[in-house]
Amino acid sequence: MNLSNMNLAELRDLEEKTRHEIKKREIEEMVRAREEILSIAQKLGVPLKDILGVQVRAKSAKPAAVYQHPENAELSWSGRGRKPGWVKQWVDGGQPLEGLRSA
């Protein structure tokens, strides 16, 4: 195949087909590798998680509340992520964020 004889549209089409073929082959290789690994594990009678060294992690604890609603103690915020609506209202009302800090 002589690329220098191809126009831009043909090159882009070839690029797209090549990208698609590469993705397809990567998936096929992954499937073959997975099947091979599972077959070996089954022959040995060893759970795959033991071979891979997979450990189950404990779920991380919910971060402690740093800010708390002054009137409703059930509303709290760790200070991470997006500000809840009640925090936005507090700050937009001209109050300092530090005024919500938990004791």
The yes-or-no verdict on residue 47 having pLDDT over 80 is yes
User: In this model, does residue 38 exceed pLDDT 70?
Assistant: yes
Give the count of alpha carbons within 13 A of 81, CB side only: 10
56 pLDDT tier (thresholds 50, 70, 90)? low
pLDDT surpasses 80 at 13: yes
**What is the torsional sign of CA 41, 45, 51, 54?**
positive
Residue 49 reports pLDDT greater than 80: no
Note whether 55 and 45 are within 8 A (CB). no
- Mean local confidence (pLDDT), 31-54: 86
